[in-house]
Structure 1
């Protein structure tokens, strides 16, 4: 198909693949293209990816998108992107990567994170998550780990950047720090003077600041133009404006149009992120933020997160439902559809089976990188379908617990706006509404993350004056899923038991994890 008009190109570097979309200025995608790359887990709690795989995947996805859309590169007026945040890349003075990226889910820096606990800086001055302890995923702790465990690499690293800023460099040759990573992941706070040097010194990496690009850029602002060599490799024209992009979840927040207080974006995939805007700076136990200017200048971003959600379902599918997967593939069905059908007849609460899905630690409300998964209530009557449903419910219990945390601090959550893998299952998205008691809105473009990057590209190219204006033209609601009051009341019992289960077993889990880490 050949089209005429004006378009923008969005890039989404997710955990499992690089996706590229070409959209018109009404927010309707012409095409999506994705290219996968692997994740390595060299030790328990570790996760790494090769940035060379990222770059090769972007080239492949861009060429696929251009070929599928029939769009001329000359008609693309803007580019933006997102990437997994907390994915740290060490690069030398020539811009070459020195080691695999330490990924967002990697919790090797537990000891470094523990140094911050009790510090006023982490809890109150620099948006470190209210009164919750810091966790090993955050940037300064990974930087300190690298300095202590790979000192030669740390010394050679002229640049130690988050993955979105790696993308900036690869596309434009410019070194910048995006405000989203800085405010939400690196303890930067414009309201309180910028970088917390004393805090970084406490962690053990006070000398990292020369490695952090000095220029901090708001989302949607131009960071430069597409350089000649990247343009040639991607099949695009050089000189296209490139707009500052965020972490992937906040591209999703933008793509869902959650830019004002009252709503929260629910971005689902390998993990869950719950994020929204507050007009005032709020803090409290059990959530992160409020972060100054992290998405919208002049507002505060509040965040909750569940580290392993869709990834736990994938773990179950791959390890305990291989026969079903093979059977489904033979008849062209999605194995999750069959699992949903089998789980549908099981009553709420999975006949007493309660899973705690903290397989890779807990981000909120406990901020505990030593948390691990729990399965309780097993009996001989339970089936694989019970386990599957209990995992679905566990993820929703975690979302409900997070909403309780932000509401206790004064945030009014009137609706969730959802995107990602969970929205492909009507049963699971209804379960989110039932368990949280909050209506869930679905939008026209289910892949809101990459739509968000297209919106940022449109703003950076000057097609719209602001993200709010872009949202009014490019985001389209299609359905609201209301919670069932009876099921919500029935599930309240299990949300409480889910919370009690982890709190009761937390000390024992720590003992086991510490023992394993010493082996």
Structure 2
């Protein structure tokens, strides 16, 4: 029987998923197994790596049960996974801690604050490629060292979620460049672990495992893994990557000049560049193809619309009805601005920022308010895009949009006009699965590079072009939005003081 399928694995925060992808990049079947987050106290978020593995086993067995001949058709396996979950393994490959802090765990906030009080960005940006934030594994390791010394001391390997699954599949341990680049511990110039950053954080560099490329072959399915999953012994397993950079690849964002806009609850804007964009407002991931993705995060992207639906209508209206109301207002919402910082900002000096409407007059109605919310997100993203364009020294050519925000034609047109850049939407929403297949196709020799595979696999629904009249209005409004953003910062601490 011909081997004509790739097995893609995605270890998400809510579930483990497995998918079969054919050699043209089309998804043939997908299965999932849910698991829970553990919240021991406010701000903490943990999961058990054993639950990830159980979810992977269940998902694979669901796929294979549909057709007894499927297992023999799998040519290669590639996994991606939620990033930053910090897994500790001892010398025998056993977990030293049964639950690990996840990407959204905030227990390290005090450690980050202490680090920022001691060091300036100039002391570490060039050695880490990133500003400090509670998400990074470097700070999670500090917490584990201080609060769970037994687990930290016993650890001989620090890995991420998909690395743990790869270990269970093959018995081999490694971390890929995309995960290491977002650890706060990798030197972007050398691509190796940074003694400078480990010394700054007081961490043992010997616990950090080999950094390899996502398209490297890690090993093959072991007898033990085959018995658990039903997979054949010997199927090659790729190193793989973090879910975010793998999804970038699987959406076609794989060369300089391209930008990704993933709008879900938040909005993540990523610009592909040859080097990291060193700026305190910009974070950087390593891309699958060996470059960098400078990214910024707007915490309340799609969540701004969710908030408006709840606050104005107590969820009585559908999103379609809210968009219909927004369409009744003219572009620019009659000079009404919305600053979409409902839950503050992830990076920068003003993480306690607030949302606001500015410019309300008697002429404004509900349609204006809803359109202003959508436009406010576009203005906030445009401000960040311009910072990244300046840092990279290159104008953006195309934006690839995905996530829930990419399903609303009005919002796409508003964004294209505010950015003044055409927007494309991939036909296949499962960009991470497609990215895994592209990695597997390149690693097994069907394509010279992962980006070549992605170019062959990724197709688009069409192009949303900027409306020239809208673009002119938004271009005149953008500087006012930027000044509102800057001037409001003087009041955020005052608001906090009122609460105290």
Work out whether the TM-score is over 0.5: yes
How many equivalent pairs are there? 493
Aligned to 2:470: 487
Partner secondary structure for residue 272 of structure 2: strand
Partner secondary structure for residue 189 of structure 2: helix
- Alignment RMSD: 3.5
Aligned to 2:176: 178
User: Greater Rg, structure 1 or structure 2?
Assistant: 2
Aligned to 2:128: 126
Give structure 1 stretches of 5+ with no counterpart: 326-334
Aligned to 2:352: 371
Aligned to 2:444: 461
Q: Distance in 2 between matches of 1:42 and 1:295?
A: 34
Aligned to 1:422: 405
Contact 2:84 2:136 in 1 (8 A): yes
1:92 Cα deviation after fit: 4.3
Q: 1:190 to 1:302 in 2, by over 3 A?
A: closer
Aligned to 1:206: 203
Aligned to 1:449: 432
- Greater length-normalized contact order (CA 8 Å, ≥ 6 residues apart): 1
Q: What is the 5 A alignment of 1:91-170?
A: 91-93=89-91, 94-96=93-95, 98-114=97-113, 115-116=115-116, 117-118=119-120, 120-128=122-130, 133-170=131-168
Superimposed CA distance per residue, residues 340-368 of structure 1 (whole angstroms, 9 cap, x where no aligned partner): 334332444556351423526324xx376
Aligned to 2:388: 406
1:414 Cα deviation after fit: 0.7
Aligned to 2:256: 261
1:283 Cα deviation after fit: 3.5
1:294 Cα deviation after fit: 4.0
1:83 Cα deviation after fit: 1.3
1:499 Cα deviation after fit: 4.1
Aligned pair partner of 1:337 in 309, 317, 320? 320
Partner secondary structure for residue 9 of structure 1: strand
1:251 Cα deviation after fit: 0.9
Partner secondary structure for residue 179 of structure 2: helix
Q: Distance in 2 between matches of 1:70 and 1:311?
A: 43
Contact 2:309 2:322 in 1 (8 A): no
Contact 1:433 1:481 in 2 (8 A): yes
Superimposed CA distance per residue, residues 405-427 of structure 1 (whole angstroms, 9 cap, x where no aligned partner): 11112122111122222222223
Q: Distance in 1 between matches of 2:484 and 2:325?
A: 26
Superimposed CA distance per residue, residues 361-416 of structure 1 (whole angstroms, 9 cap, x where no aligned partner): 324xx376x33542334789988876665554343233212210111121221111
**Could you tell which deviates more after superposition, 399-408 or 145-154?**
145-154
Aligned pair partner of 2:346 in 345, 349, 362? 362
Q: Does 1:295 align with 2:288?
A: yes
Q: 1:449 to 1:398 in 2, by over 3 A?
A: farther
Q: 1:146 to 1:499 in 2, by over 3 A?
A: farther
1:476 Cα deviation after fit: 2.2
**Could you tell which deviates more after superposition, 193-202 or 507-516?**
507-516
Q: Does 1:324 align with 2:306?
A: no
Contact 1:197 1:206 in 2 (8 A): no
Q: Distance in 1 between matches of 2:46 and 2:467?
A: 41
Q: Distance in 1 between matches of 2:90 and 2:344?
A: 30
Superimposed CA distance per residue, residues 407-463 of structure 1 (whole angstroms, 9 cap, x where no aligned partner): 112122111122222222223323321222211112232221221011112223333
**Could you tell which deviates more after superposition, 20-29 or 189-198?**
189-198
Output the TM-score relative to the length of structure 1. Answer: 0.82
**Could you tell which deviates more after superposition, 227-236 or 308-317?**
308-317
Q: Distance in 2 between matches of 1:514 and 1:91?
A: 44
Contact 2:222 2:233 in 1 (8 A): yes
Q: 1:127 to 1:384 in 2, by over 3 A?
A: same
Q: Does 1:397 align with 2:397?
A: no
Partner secondary structure for residue 125 of structure 2: helix
Partner secondary structure for residue 324 of structure 1: coil
Give structure 2 stretches of 5+ with no counterpart: none
Superimposed CA distance per residue, residues 474-498 of structure 1 (whole angstroms, 9 cap, x where no aligned partner): 1223411111122233334554455
Q: 1:361 to 1:145 in 2, by over 3 A?
A: farther
1:138 Cα deviation after fit: 1.7
1:317 Cα deviation after fit: 5.9
Contact 1:420 1:447 in 2 (8 A): no
Aligned pair partner of 1:58 in 56, 59, 69? 56
Superimposed CA distance per residue, residues 202-259 of structure 1 (whole angstroms, 9 cap, x where no aligned partner): 23x322x23221x111111111112333333333223211112222111111112222
Q: 1:45 to 1:92 in 2, by over 3 A?
A: same
Q: What is the 5 A alignment of 1:185-200?
A: 185-189=183-187, 191-192=189-190, 194-200=192-198
Partner secondary structure for residue 55 of structure 1: helix
Superimposed CA distance per residue, residues 76-128 of structure 1 (whole angstroms, 9 cap, x where no aligned partner): 11111211212223444443361533222333323322415415442223322
Q: 1:151 to 1:511 in 2, by over 3 A?
A: farther
Q: Distance in 2 between matches of 1:238 and 1:318?
A: 52
Q: 1:252 to 1:403 in 2, by over 3 A?
A: same
